[in-house]
């Protein structure tokens, strides 16, 4: 029987190995290797190298597992375990030499996320969680902050790479920002979710995320006591993800639904 802690240990080792590669191996002339949804949605050669390192390491130790990777390294497995991998979450930050980028690895067992790691090399921080075992930053157990009143909430969000989606997201921010303390845009969904877990943000929301963007961070936030979902009554998805402590989650979710944050 596969122990969740064993999967976590593999994810930690893979994330740290990739982090060393990305931190120490970043070329001074790093450029764009390819684009995805638009000309500003980029892939670097280091994204590809990181994913190759991670999948190679995991396949060596667990050859029957499946993969879902951002840069295309996806395969079906036979073990019931699937690794959901973002080799660099925050690629544009990494490209520009900004510190808010990370390696995100989650393990799913029969479709449920059971272990997650978000490793942030530039900050020297590693967030981790096992289903039912709590969330940690290093050796410190994480708990979400107390829910503030809505006008005092510090929110995190992000923006897509398609023009039409960005315009809609800007409309939502314009309506929302007078109602709260402020809104931050860090550039990495995984880090933003971990910041909710650590009490560095009161809440986070975004439309247009992919599974690899939030699989590990979602587990870490939930294990720290956050509620995570989508539209009212729905699970988090590419349509909308909302993460916040109890007491703030429902008001924010309802306001985002009213503002149409779930559609372009």
Binding site listing for Mg(2+): 70, 86, 88-89, 213
Q: What is the per-residue pLDDT across 125-169, written as a single tens digit (0 to 9) for each?
A: 999 999 999 999 999 999 999 999 999 999 999 999 889 999 999
Is residue 110, in this structure, part of any structural domain at all?
yes
Written as one string, the DSSP assignment of 224-236 is: TT-EEESSTTS--
Task: State how far the alpha carbon of 105 is from the alpha carbons of 29, 30, 37, in Å.
Answer: 27, 24, 22
Number of domains in the chain: 2
Query: Do 86 and 159 reside in the same domain of the chain?
Result: no
Residue 264 belongs to a domain: no
Q: Average pLDDT of 177-202?
A: 98
User: Is the pTM value of this prediction over 0.85?
Assistant: yes
Report CA-CA distances (Å) from 176 to 127, 150, 197, 205.
29, 11, 22, 12
CA distances to 46, 128, 153, 245 from 43, rounded to whole Å, are: 8, 26, 33, 33
Question: What pLDDT shows up at residue 112?
Answer: 97
**Three-class SS of residue 180?**
coil
The whole-angstrom separation of Cα 134 and Cα 141 is 7
pLDDT in tens, 22-70: 999 998 888 777 767 766 556 789 999 999 999 999 999 999 999 999 8
Domain that holds residue 60: 4-141
Does residue 89 lie within any of the structural domains?
A: yes
Identify the pLDDT of residue 39. Answer: 63
In a domain, 229, yes or no: yes
- Say yes or no: 162 and 232 in one domain: yes
**Based on the domain organization, do 62 and 40 belong to the same domain?**
yes
Residue 8 and residue 116 in one domain = yes
Q: Copy the structure tokens of residue 236.
A: 């988090």
pLDDT in tens, 78-108: 999 999 999 999 999 999 999 999 999 999 9
Tokens of 122: 């530039």
135 in the same domain as 55: yes
Q: Provide the CATH number for the domain around residue 83.
A: 3.30.540.10
Q: Which residues contact 35 (CB under 8 A, 6 or more apart)?
A: 41, 42, 43
72 and 17 in one domain?
A: yes
Give the other-Cβ count within 10 Å of 168's Cβ.
19
Contact at 8 Å (CB) between 118 and 221? no
Between the alpha carbon of residue 120 and those of residues 38, 78, 98, 227, the distances in Å are 26, 31, 12, 23
pLDDT tens sequence across 109-137: 999 999 999 999 999 999 999 999 999 99
Q: Which residues fall in the annotated binding site?
A: 70, 86, 88-89, 213
pLDDT at 7 over 70: yes
Q: Which of 124, 141, 158 is the last residue of a domain?
A: 141
């Amino acid at each position: 029987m596969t122990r969740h802690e064993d999967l976590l240990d593999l994810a930690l080792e893979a994330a740290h190995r990739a982090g060393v590669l990305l931190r120490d191996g970043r070329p001074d002339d790093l450029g764009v290797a390819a684009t995805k949804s638009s000309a500003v949605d980029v892939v670097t050669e280091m994204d590809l190298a990181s994913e190759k390192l991670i999948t190679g390491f995991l396949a060596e130790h667990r050859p029957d597992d499946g993969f879902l990777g951002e840069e295309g390294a996806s395969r079906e497995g036979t073990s019931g375990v699937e690794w959901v991998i973002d080799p660099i979450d925050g690629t544009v930050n990494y490209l520009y030499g900004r510190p808010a980028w990370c390696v995100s690895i989650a393990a799913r067992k029969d479709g449920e996320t059971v272990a997650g790691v978000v490793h942030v090399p530039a900050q020297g921080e590693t967030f981790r969680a096992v289903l039912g075992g709590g969330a940690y930053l290093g050796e410190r157990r994480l708990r979400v902050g107390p829910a503030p009143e809505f006008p005092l909430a510090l929110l995190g969000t992000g923006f897509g790479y398609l023009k039409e989606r960005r315009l809609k997201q800007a409309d939502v921010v314009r309506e929302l920002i007078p109602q709260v303390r402020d809104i931050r845009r860090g550039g990495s969904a995984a880090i933003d979710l971990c910041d909710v877990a650590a009490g560095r943000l009161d809440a986070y929301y975004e439309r247009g995320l992919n599974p690899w963007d939030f699989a590990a961070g979602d587990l870490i936030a939930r294990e720290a006591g956050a509620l995570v979902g989508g539209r009212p009554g729905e699970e988090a998805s590419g349509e909308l993800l909302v993460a916040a402590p109890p007491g703030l989650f429902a008001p924010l979710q309802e306001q985002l639904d009213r503002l149409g944050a779930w559609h372009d």
